[in-house]
Structure 1
Amino acid sequence: MNLLLIILLLPMLFYIYFLLKIKSGLRKLKQEPGGSVVSKITGVTLVIPFRNEEENLRNLIEDVANLEKDGINFDVIFVNDHSEDDWQEYKNQIRERENWRVIELGAGVTGKKNALTEGIKNSSSEIILVTDADCRIPTKWLKLMVGQFDENTGFVAGAVKYKSNDSIFTKIQALEFGGLILSGAGLIGSGEPVICSAASMAFRRKLFIEVGGYNLNNSLSSGDDEFLMRSIARLGHKVGYLLNKEGIVETNPGDSVGGFVQQRSRWASKGLFYENPILILKLVLIFLFYLSLILSPFTIWFFGWNGSFLVMISIVFKGLTEYFVLLEGEGLLYENVDLSHFLLAELMHVPYIVFTAILGAFGGFVWKGRQLSR
């Protein structure tokens, strides 16, 4: 029985180690210099795939037009993935601007990865910069992202946060999403790139071609960012991270619980297809820790006092460690970590992680009006 308790304890210990590694990586990133624009960069192309983004294109066009270029040779490519809304009014606005253009995906060619690939194929710039059409971009984003590149850098990820409002649901989402962003940043800071966001990323075009673009994971609906980042890292190139308040991109939170679950399930669906078995093992250990908390009543019933103690320290250590990691995002991804919002998020965290992981593993969700199998 003692051996079984020790086995149950292992996922918790790994999870605490995992969070401490993230916190250490974040501290390292915050100590690094912010970077400056590299004069050797010959050009930057911003590629923006979009589908049914009529409500967001006006703000995005304005944000891109206001980007500080500081002498960077810069052009913009919008790629339309068969939008069904009334976005056409923005087509002329885009085409009227110097070095801006719109590309339409052909019949039978769909999806974000194909849209990005088409945009990259139509670019000749050294650096490809990517964001999503529902984002708001700060004026310094371009030069700060480019400033992260040195001669050894192949990929740069950037921080993203949710647009804020007074809704408690949105504030809880902001903490949860902030935790994901901090995890990605901290892991990159500790030298282990795992997750990033396609809402703010940049990479060398020649490396995209060298790794085969999205060919290795084109069948998956998610992961265009992470698979590419790790493919470039495996070639021995440095992965950088922009953790600067003036360079944080804003995106929309989910407007409903159903939409939130659909999105997280889609994100979770790629986990079993990661190319590194050690990484998959780490994710399985984290999932087992969450699952053990779901099954904690059985642990208490079977092990009695010892089981109760194990469950108690698991909950306490999980909460404390996550709270201290989230504090690293104060003033960057959210104003502060409100304790009441944090406790509400903690109550939902474990059930939603387990549920969306299982849902993602079996596929089946709707995104951008399309039914996706995985």
Structure 2
Amino acid sequence: YFISLVGIAAASIHNGFYNLCNGANLAYAKAAFLEVDGYANAKHTPSGDDMMLMHKIGKRFPGKVGFLKNRQAIVRTFTAPDFSTFWQQRLRWTSKAGHYEDKRITVILAMAYLCNLTLAFNVMAGAFHPQFLHLAMWQFLLKIGVDTLFAYSVARFFRTEQLLWNILPMQILHIIYIIAIAPASLIGGFEWKGRRYS
């Protein structure tokens, strides 16, 4: 699913909507960095400095943010070694959502959350009223159809098509993950580099 986020970032940047980037693979001109005062507005949060910088540069220099679609520019990073580390990492990532100046990103995140929440609700309600189960089935088929088509195009670029065999179980886990991570990031803190943040 992480490569799908890279695909979303690429498509969004191509359309002039700077909503995602990754500090592991980010380049900028020093003059542009200084012009927008660098990471000044990101000192209050331990996550999101890369995206906040991109937002500022995109606002100050419209049309000058780009995505380099080139296999030679791919940067490979390590996955979290265990679930606890993965969860803390995702809590840290999710915690930055409220700090974005561009509220369109918050709206999109809220819509994605509601889509997953309503799907889960319809599955549970289907135990009492079958029509909800039918609705959930169509929601799930639409979700997995759109996600698979998009993930395939991205996986082809990264040459990781073999991962698509996991898409069905990952869809189910992803719905649970999305529903759980949002409230968890709001009501609890997270640990990062040996420090506790709340």
Same fold (TM over 0.5): yes
Quick check: which one's helix share is greater?
2
| Aligned positions, number | 197
Max Rg structure: 1
Question: Distance between the aligned counterparts of 1:321 and 1:186, measured in 2?
Answer: 15
Structure 2 CA distance for aligned equivalents of residues 227 and 363 of structure 1: 23
2:132 is the alignment partner of 1:307: yes
Distance 2:182 2:31 in 1: 34
Quote the offset at 1:313 in angstroms: 1.1
Q: Please name the residue that 1:319 is paired with.
A: 144
Q: Is the 8 A contact 2:189 2:197 kept in 1?
A: yes
Q: How far apart are 1:342 and its partner, in Å?
A: 1.3
Paired residues for 1:1-374 under 5 Å: 176-237=1-62, 238-300=64-126, 304-373=129-198
Q: Looking at secondary structure, tell me which structure has more strand per residue.
A: 1
What letter matches 2:114 in structure 1? L
Change (3 A) 1:339 1:178: closer
Q: Distance in 2 between matches of 1:367 and 1:192?
A: 29
1:300–1:308 Cα contact (<8 Å) kept? yes
Query: Which amino acid is the alignment partner of residue 308 of structure 1?
Result: L
Aligned letter for 2:5? L
Q: Percent identity?
A: 30
Secondary structure class of the residue paired with 1:371: strand
Unaligned runs of 5+ in 1: 1-175
The Cα of 1:301 is off from its aligned counterpart by 5.3
- In structure 2, what residue type is equivalent to 1:221? P
Partner amino acid, structure 2, of 1:360:
S
Query: If the length of structure 2 is used for normalisation, what is the TM-score?
Result: 0.90
RMSD: 1.8
Question: What is the TM-score when the length of structure 1 is the normalising length?
Answer: 0.50
2:3 and 2:155 in contact (8 A); partners too: no
Q: Following the alignment from structure 1 to structure 2, what is the Cα–Cα distance between the partners of residues 334 and 251?
A: 16
Instruction: Find the aligned partners of 1:190 and 1:254 in 2 and give their Cα distance.
Output: 31
SS across alignment from 1:221: coil
The one-letter code sitting in structure 2 at the alignment partner of 1:297 is V
For 1:363 and 1:232, locate their aligned partners in 2 and report how far apart those are by CA, in whole Å: 31
1:339–1:329 Cα change, 3 Å: closer
Amino acid in structure 2 at the alignment position of 1:324: L
Counterpart in the other structure of 1:145: none
Runs of 4+ in 1 over 6 A off after TM superposition: none
| Structure 2, unaligned runs of 5 or more | none
